[in-house]
Chains A and B, each alone.
Chain A
């Protein structure tokens, strides 16, 4: 498992080569939007904000300008734990060859109603 955002940024890293500024960068937040009641929050994108409250406000302005949502989640990108991308073959290997986990594997019952 590796920490860091699903979008690849490991969160705030202060740039040191600032022309005009030598201030820490605002942390990165991942934004999830619930588009209507009954649906899950879905990842919409990310933004920078100094704190959670500003992240929610910025998320509203950035990702719901056209009534795209009824609820927002913001999550510090650095708090997201991802599966290791380099080990993805091994990690997701288990279901391979296990077609019997799908209904389509069972063909003998074809034509039988309500099954």
Chain B
């Protein structure tokens, strides 16, 4: 992804660089009109736009279940959640735009398959219990990842994350409640809940990204105060939370290697299938094609609405100002 409309002359601005470095050293915030290194801009544009795409694509797996949610209340809750995901996508696109890439470019990169989004949304949502597991595990992992991003050095990103985090905690709680209800239901419901947890556990751990030794961008991102903790650090912290929470559900984590390592002070977990992660990220997951196709369809089939709104706005603007009736 390349950022357009950037003043490249600024790249060699030594004074600008000094100010930038001082701001980062003081752990203060960079704002859109500040000088910033081209790599900082590029890296942030990639991260924020991918994050935005994830929110937008993330609407699909859950929206598919709105008509099948088991009660009117559950439908209302799920609709609110999906609407939130749309909102989160829009906050993030706004933040990314401040770095110079127009929104249309981001949308087009996404539907052309040029942009990435979180691998998690390429897994199928097979049962109602999956909606619970997504809320609890997937949103739980997202929150764990996002809370430190509220302090990201880039002002607009941090502000978007604050708003998102405030809204996100309802997502995780509603998921937990779905699982809790099923776990205390009939044996079939209980089995369905366990099955969903079994399938979503490993993919949600992989949401934190590759292991630290295999995550080349992380180092720079931490130096720039965008990231505050490493992928493995956050993943381990998340496992520790899940270990406690699953006890309340009365279910089991599908990982016999989970234990607290006194030496490192970190939670350990079993091996994750990073080949699967790479395959899904490369577009070869179970639902990649379907998700992108649906997004493309929505964008193209909605074009006439955008055109009509633009035409109406242009016509209104062209009208001579009429004197108002008394």
Interface residues of A (CB under 8 A from B): 7-9, 13, 15, 17-21, 23-26, 28, 45-48, 50-51, 54, 61-62, 65-66, 82, 85
Contact = CB atoms under 8 A, between A and B. Distances in A.
B98 interface: yes
Interface of B is mostly: helix
Nearest to A54: B309
Contact of A51 (B33, B98, B104, B316): B316
Interface of A is mostly: loop
Given A7-B98, A8-B31, A15-B104, A23 B87 contact: no
Contacts of B97: 7, 9, 28, 46
Contacts of A17: 105, 108
Given A19-B108, A45-B94, A25 B312 contact: no
B310 A7 contact: no
B90 A50 contact: no
13 contacts: A7-B32, A7-B97, A8-B98, A8-B100, A13-B102, A15-B102, A15-B104, A45-B91, A45-B159, A46-B97, A47-B90, A50-B312, A61-B87
Interface string B27-49: 00001111000000000000000
B306 A7 contact: no
B108 A7 contact: no
Interface residues of B, number: 40
Given A15-B104, A20-B300, 8 more contacts: A7-B97, A20-B108, A28-B97, A45-B94, A46-B94, A50-B310, A62-B87, A65-B83
A7 B48 CA distance: 15
B237 interface: no
A7 B316 CA distance: 27
Contact of B310 (A9, A13, A26, A85): A26
A102 to B, nearest CB: 22
B160 interface: yes
B257 interface: no
B312 A51 contact: yes
Which 10 A-B pairs rank lowest in CB-CB distance, beginning with the nearest? A8-B32, A51-B313, A50-B313, A85-B33, A8-B98, A50-B309, A15-B102, A15-B104, A7-B98, A19-B108
Interface in B89-132: 90-91, 94, 97-100, 102-105, 108, 111-112
B317 interface: yes
A26 B94 CA distance: 13
B303 interface: yes
B325 interface: no
Contact of B103 (A7, A23, A48, A50): A48
B5 interface: yes
Nearest to B299: A20
A65 B87 contact: yes
Contacts of A18: 104, 108
A61 B99 CA distance: 25
B111 to A, nearest CB: 8
Interface centre among A19, A61, A65, A82 (most CB of B within 10 A): A19
Interface in B286-308: 299-300, 303, 306-307
Nearest to B170: A66
B181 interface: no
A50 B312 CA distance: 8
A100 B159 CA distance: 34
B167 interface: yes
A85 B316 CA distance: 35
A54 B306 CA distance: 11
B195 interface: no
